[in-house]
Structure 1
Amino acid sequence: MSYTHKWPFFLLIFLFFGNLHAQDNLTGYWQPEFAINYDVNKAYSHNFSVTNRNYIIKDSEVLLKTRQIDLVHFSKLDIKDNQSIALGVQYRFRNNFDDGENELRLTQQYNVTSKPFSVRYGHRFRAEQRITQPLTTHRFRYRFAVDFPLKGEKLDMGEPYFVGSFENLLSVAKGNSPQFDTRLNGQVGWQLEHGLKIQVGVEYRIEEYTSGLPQNVVFLLTSAQLSL
């Protein structure tokens, strides 16, 4: 895929997000993240991250207010060159900042990738148990992702790359109706020296889209990832 052929991806994304101002039921967040990746050996690795989610639009008001802080750990095992399984645990601190419940989340993951040319494709399947004091919610997720360099066919140090994904989610809990969500994500990143990656982008979510009043959620994403 040539550099000029990649730009339609960005045009579609920016046109899509540019229409969000006309959407009702809109909530906006700024979500910075810092992550560390640590390889135990060639097949086994750990990931640790901390994420801070902040309101920037709530009830038609522009503000900056912390909603939650997430601490996350994943252990990943490569079972083939392009396949891996992972287990994750996450704790969400929310009632310190908002009216929501703190949450313990357990995650089981399977991921498979392919890279026929300069574009890499990924399919990720996740099952999650979201445990709060009132109830446990079981969530099932499928994500399709692509990433590719924005200059040439190979990513060199300091050059930009693009990461995009589309994800569907199903949440079920005792006594509640099933909830269906969709997420569309686009980010630009840079591979820097000493194993550091910087990424910025946006994510759009439609939550409870089968209900009579689906929720529109927009994220401004910023992240730093350090590989040791």
Structure 2
Amino acid sequence: MSYTKLACIIFLLLSGLSIPKKGFSQSAIRWEPELSYTWEPFQHWSFNSSLGGRNVWMDEASKELETYDWQFMEGQFFANYEFFNGGELGGGYKYRMIAPFNDEFSGYEHRLMQQYAFVSFVGARRLAHRFRAEQRIRDAGTSSRFRYRLSYDFPTNGQQLDPGETYLIFSEEVLWELNAYENELDNRLYLGIGWYFTDKRKLEAGVQYRLEAINMGSSESIFHIVTSYYLNQ
């Protein structure tokens, strides 16, 4: 069986897990689309802007939300500086509108971000590391979050990714959030498949499994369907 067929089977199986089932705690389908644009106007510098959001469909048994809800919309700007050793130091800002089409429950979030990223190799395989700190300023209060993500991607055919080919990507991320009342530890596991059209365009779709509040005795499992379209200058 080819890597492409295997990837499609795994993706469909994981996507099926996000569909509500009787007796399973997952009560919603969550879809997060994103459009991302990156450009490099100067040597060593790159900039990225993105637009995204989250759509939620609830099953009939859930009374927490209406059947459909646009949970949030957000925009982000990020700047990165690449060092000679391949590491990148960056910072950015994100603004999130919560429940943008529901006046009764609407809110906001300002997020400041600082990160360091680098790549390591195991044999010929490339591993990407990202350390990020965030300050989340919301109408409900302020919190700080620290994140570490390890990701690994590879082409489904051959050793090198060429235009018109597909790739698989896996990532594992740990988040620790601190606020005035409690500390929360989360974990996020992601599996995706990407279509590399050209050096300037690619599409990625995947499923993210979130285990939230691991350290608080009442952890919650959540699945998200994620789609991202990337444009590069």
Structure 2 length normalisation: TM-score? 0.85
> 1:185, CA displacement in angstroms?
0.6
Label 1:178 to 1:66 Cα distance change in 2 as closer, same or farther (>3 A).
Answer: same
Q: Which residue of 2 aligns with 1:67?
A: 71
Q: 1:200 aligns with which of 205, 217, 226?
A: 205
Measure the CA separation in 2 of the matches of 1:207 and 1:59: 24
Shift of 1:212: 3.0
- Residue 150 of structure 1 is matched in structure 2 by 156
Find the counterpart in structure 2 of residue 114 from structure 1: 120
Q: Any conservation in 2 of the 1:28–1:217 contact (CA below 8 Å)? A: no
Aligned mates of 2:159, 2:229 — CA distance in 1: 24
Q: Which residue pairs with 2:51 in the alignment?
A: 50
What is the identity, as a one-letter code, of the residue corresponding to 2:131?
A: F
Secondary structure (helix, strand or coil) at the match of 1:210 reads helix
1:97 matches 2:97: no
1-side partners of 2:127 and 2:26: how far apart? 33
Q: Name the CA distance, whole Å, in 1 between partners of 2:9 and 2:124.
A: 20
Residue pair 2:163, 2:199 contacting (<8 A) in 1 also: no
Structure 1 contact 142–169 (Cα < 8 Å) conserved? yes
Cα RMSD for the two superposed structures: 2.6
C-alpha distance 194-122 of structure 1, shift in aligned 2 (>3 A): closer
Which residue matches 1:211?
A: 216
- The offset of 1:59, in angstroms, is 7.7
Which 10-residue stretch deviates more, 146-155 or 58-67?
58-67
From the superposition, tell whether residues 23 and 86 of structure 1 become closer, same or farther in structure 2 (CA, over 3 Å): farther
Distance 1:162 1:207, change over 3 A: same
Looking at structure 2, the residues matched to 214 and 26 of structure 1 have their Cα atoms a distance apart, in angstroms, of 15
Aligned to 2:34: 33
Deviations 1:74-124 (A, max 9, x none): 100101343101101000011423535310000000001124555320111
Q: Deviations over 1:162-189 (max 9, x none)?
A: 1110001011111x11011110011111
Q: Are 2:132 and 1:126 aligned?
A: yes
- Identical positions, percent: 29
Q: Call closer, same or farther: CA 1:11–1:168 in 2, change over 3 Å.
A: farther
Could you tell me how far apart the structure 2 residues matched to 1:211 and 1:173 are? 14
**What per-residue deviation string (whole Å, max 9, x for no partner) do you get for residues 125-144 of structure 1?**
01000001232100000111
TM-score (norm 1): 0.86
The corresponding residue for 2:227 is 222
**Partner amino acid, structure 2, of 1:65:** D
Q: Check the 8 A contact 1:118/1:148 in 2, yes or no.
A: no
> Does 1:173 pair with 2:174?
no
Shift of 1:224: 0.7
Structure 1 unaligned spans of 5+:
none
Aligned residues: 223
Residue 102 of structure 1 aligns to a residue in which SS?
Answer: strand
Amino acid at match of 1:79: F
CA separation of 1:26/1:205 partners in 2, compared to 1, >3 Å: closer, same or farther?
farther
